[in-house]
Each structure stands twice: as C-alpha cells, then as structure tokens.
Amino acid sequence: MLSHLDGEQAQRLSVPLVVAGSQDPLLEWAIRESGSDLAMLCQGSGDGVRRLLDGKAMLAGIHLLDPDTQRYNEPSAIGLSGMRDLLMVHWAKRRQGLLLPGNNPLNIMGLSDLQRPHIRVAHRQPDAGAARLLSCLLQQAGIDSSALNWAPHASLSEDDLALSISQGRRM
C-alpha cells in the first residue's frame, strides 16, 4: 500500500491486516466466514478513522454523522479528504435508536425523557458513531447534554451497552 498522505514522495508501507472502526455483526460474520485472516478491532468509528490514517488498519467500518450537513461519512468532515487511495463502499444501512430495558419500565418515549433526574443514561465512548449521533440529536432537540445523568463509564461496544442495560447497571 502506498502512503496515502505523502503525495508524490509516496513510499511503500506495510499495513496490518486489520479491520478497525465500528462494531458491525454482519461485517464480523463476513470476515470470519471469508477465511481472510483479517483481525477485527472494533472500538468505534472515530477509532477506525484514526487507525486508518495512522496506517494501523487497512479497512475501517464507519458511520459518522456530520452535524452541519446531516450526511454520513463525508471524507472532508471526518479527516479523510487527504487520502489519495481512499475507496468508500456503502456496506449496509443502520437503524439506530434508544436502547431500553425490556417493557420500558421508566416509560421513556423520546430524548426529552432522558432529562428526568432519576434516569441514568448509558452511553458509548465519544468517538463511536452512536455517541456522535446522540450528541447531534440532543443538540437538535435543544437538550443540554451536560445536564443529563450519564453513567460514569462509557460502554465500549453495542454488546457491552446492551448487557449493561439488561442487567440494570446503567438505567
């Protein structure tokens, strides 16, 4: 692979066989079944972009919303516009929303309900696509995110978040 940021003085770099970025069960399954020996480091979309730029991953699964344009994965908005060998592939559509305990015992119907003082809000790490989306939606709804009762620690994956909520540790 050529060093994508060196312009005309590009040099050959050895990029590890790593897929970084967002956790995506379908992509994880496809890579596992392909027998490609690719390693998965799913620590959020922002982390995937960083690893791609640093030459620590050859692929990055991302879903990063640009709050200004309301478009996802715009290279210039996420720091990838300088990559000369960038290839973006639309992999899948995501449906995202609030993850709630079974039967919704706190009767949370929308973002405004998260402002109730007794509701603890579980969250992803700041670089995760889900965290960026939530931040954007809270801002659009006029909700001051600093006034919410956030869980003390971020969940590092969707599975971690779901487990925390199902066990009642966060909400």
Are residue 116 and residue 79 in the same domain, yes or no? no
Same domain, 82 and 5: yes
**CA 111 vs CA 30, 55, 74, 152: distances in Å:** 34, 38, 26, 19
Q: Is 70 helix (H, G, I), strand (E, B) or coil?
A: coil
User: pLDDT 10s per residue in the chain (171 long)?
Assistant: 445 555 555 566 689 999 999 988 889 999 999 999 999 999 999 999 999 999 999 999 999 999 999 999 999 999 998 888 889 999 888 888 899 998 999 999 999 999 999 999 999 999 899 999 999 999 999 999 999 999 998 998 888 888 888 887 544
Rounded distance between C-alpha atoms, residue 31 and residue 36, angstroms: 7
pTM of the model: 0.81
DSSP string covering 118-160: T-EE--B-TTSHHHHHHHHHHHHTT--GGGSEE-SS-BSSHHH
- 82 and 12: one domain? yes
- 1 and 85 assigned to the same domain: yes
5 falls within a domain: yes
User: Residue 29 falls within a domain, yes or no?
Assistant: yes
The answer on 62 and 17 residing in a single domain is yes
Tally the domains of the chain.
2
Q: What is residue 112's three-state secondary structure?
A: helix
Same domain for 8 and 72? yes
Same domain membership, residue 151 and residue 126: yes
Helices (H), the chain: 25-34, 45-53, 129-140, 158-166
Q: Quick one: 57 and 14 in the same domain? A: yes
Residue span of the structural domain in which 133 resides: 111-166
Q: Among 43, 67, 95, which residue terminates a domain?
A: 95
Q: Are residues 14 and 81 in the same domain?
A: yes
